[in-house]
Structures are given as C-alpha cells and as structure tokens.
Amino acid sequence: MTSPAEGLLKSVLAGKISRRDAMKYAAALGISLPAVASVAPMVARAEEEYQIAYLTPGLNVPFWKYLSDGIKQAAEKDAAATGAKITVTDYDSRNDAGTQLQNAQDAITAGVDLIIISPTDSSSAPTVLELAKENNVPVIIADIGTDEGEYVSFVISTNEDGAYESGKALVEKMKANGCANSDIAMITISQARLNGQNRTKGITKAIEEAGGKIVQFLQSEDYTRAEAQAQTSDLLQANPDICGFFTQHDEAALGALAAIEESGKADSLAFASFDGSPESVELLKEGKLAAASMQQPVLMGRISTEVGLKHLRGEEVEKETMVPTILVTPENVLELEATLADTVFPAEDGAEATPSA
C-alpha cells in the first residue's frame, strides 16, 4: 500500500505537482519533510529537478560574482554525481531593497525550489524571508545576515576575527613605519549589515589595543573604485596626521590605493584591507598592502548550494556555517595562491554561465 509520503514524492517527481505544493500538502496531512524524503530511494534520483534562485546585492561587485560562481560549481557537481537537473538563476538587486523584494517575488512566481540570498542589508532581509515563508520556499542566507526572520541555514565568514587579524598586521606596519600614533581612517561597507558591524568591531579592537583610534570612517554606497578613491581623498585631506588606512571590501581597497598614491603618502601610510581580488594579490606581492583578510566567496557559494540541496532532500543541516577568512600578507601570498585560486577567486574555466533575471 502506498503511503501518503510516497504518493507526494512520486507526484512531485512525476511533475504532477510542485515541490512547494507538496510541502503545503505535507503540512496539512501532518507529514514531515524527512518523512517525504525517506521514500526517495524508491525513485531514481535522475528524475530530480531543482530550480535555485540566487538573490545577489549587485553583480557589479566582483565578490558576488565569485559567490554566484561557487553556487553554480556545486550545482554542476551535484548534477554530475546524481543525475539531477539543477538550474541556477541570478537575480541582481542592484543594491536596492525594493528590487530585491521584487526579485524574490519573481523567483517565487517562477516556481523556484530554493532561494539563496545575500541581502542588500540585514534590515531588508526579513521582508524577503517572510514572503518566502508564506510561499513555502526554503531560504539559505549567504553572507551579510538578517535582523530577524526564519531561514534554513546561514553561511557567513568570520568577519570580526578576520578584520581583527588584518588590523593587527596594520598596527605592525605602522610601527615599522615609525609612526608616533596608531590612528587610522577607514572605508566601510554598510553598517546596516551585520557583517559590516562585525568587521568594524574587529578592526576597532585591533587599533584600540595598540592605543590608537579610528578618527573617521565613510560608508560605501555603490561599492565602486571611483567612489572609494573620492572618499579616500576626502579622508586624507581631513585627517593629515593618520598613520594607517583600512578598507572593508575589495573594490574599496583598489580605489583607496589610487588616492593614497596620488596623495604622495604611499611610502609613509600603512594600508590593510578586508576582502581581496586578483589585483589585491598583486599589491600584496609588491608590498603595497600590509595584509588582506580574504573571505572565501566561492567556497561560501558551494556550501550554500550543498546545504540547500540537503534540505530539499530531507536531510538535517547546520543552522549556521562559519567560513574562515584567510589572512594574506606579502610574506605568505605565494604559498597561498593555489588556495586563493580555488576558494576565493573563480577559475577561468569555472562554472558555465546560467541565466540572470
């Protein structure tokens, strides 16, 4: 005799009903997701089909492209191993909370089975989470975080620890430069984001332990090099006696360096960052950066997909996964290049492009 769980699963895999509708029916019948998934071995996994939506703050920022690449790499790897058909679609929110919400609605209307979201900021995430909950679409949060709301799992970097480690390297560079103080200026990501708040905590701790202070900081709005270059010029003019400079994202680091070099202070001003890019690696090799605590966005994307697919298949998953940052310095950059090429920057022959909404 066919059980209710078997019937639901077979209907989904036969294409008669969507996974989301199956979840609704299962809830109404008092059947748990694990119970539905427990009969999965009865049906060939080759019949599986999943649509994944990645809601990204803005694909103009390389970090989010790298994370998207990791999502697609894991989807391709799973499909090759299981025979499942997995489609990943990027939804670019263009750093706008309203666009992010519309993207979520469009993805749900399109019938996605899973949403992976990197929110525009932590205060905008709850609205998306509530919409997904109403439509029984599970959500994985990849970076940034949320102020509240229900989600399956959260994949996040060790932001505070990473900023602290890079900050300590910055302090050492200021000492080596013979600075009379440890005061710095800084460009941050949005402080409405939990990860931004944690990066600020980490660098503040390192600077205050050295007896210094952050005399001024400016927040990024469009996360471009041009913006960071202009902000850095303003900060240097307003604070001519600082001994160090710190940035909280990779594009800011590149824009800030251009302004520092223009100011003629490249040899006297210590400079460190959080995050990195292939160009940052070259700056580290040249000694222009004292340190960069690099997140591993490709790895974060892979983990987000893996956790999401486990959940869809009824497996238990961790509520939070902490992905360590990698402290890269001029001294260790060469030995870390292979790791950076794998988990920080996407390989040139990486995942094939998938649709963007």
144-168 confidence digits (pLDDT tens): 999 999 999 999 999 999 999 999 9
Q: Does the pLDDT value for residue 1 go beyond 60?
A: no
Query: Is 323 exposed, middle or buried (CB count within 10 Å of its CB: 0-12, 13-18, 19+)?
Result: buried
Contact (Cβ atoms closer than 8 angstroms) between residue 5 and residue 31: yes
Q: Does the pLDDT value for residue 172 go beyond 70?
A: yes
Q: Does the pLDDT value for residue 273 go beyond 80?
A: yes
Q: Does the pLDDT value for residue 302 go beyond 90?
A: yes
Sheet of 49-56: strand order equals: 85-92, 49-56, 114-117, 139-142, 153-157, 320-323
CA 205, chain centre distance (Å) = 23
pLDDT of residue 181: 87
pLDDT of residue 23: 57
Q: Does the pLDDT value for residue 22 go beyond 90?
A: no
State the amino acid at position 100 in one-letter form: Q
pTM of the model: 0.84
CA 230/CA 114 separation, integer angstroms: 39
Q: Does the pLDDT value for residue 354 go beyond 50?
A: no
Q: What is the mean pLDDT of residues 317-334?
A: 97
Q: Does the pLDDT value for residue 228 go beyond 70?
A: yes
pLDDT of residue 180: 77
pLDDT of residue 46: 47
CA 154/CA 175 separation, integer angstroms: 38
**pLDDT tens-digit series, residues 77-128:** 999 999 999 999 999 999 999 999 999 999 999 999 999 999 999 999 999 9
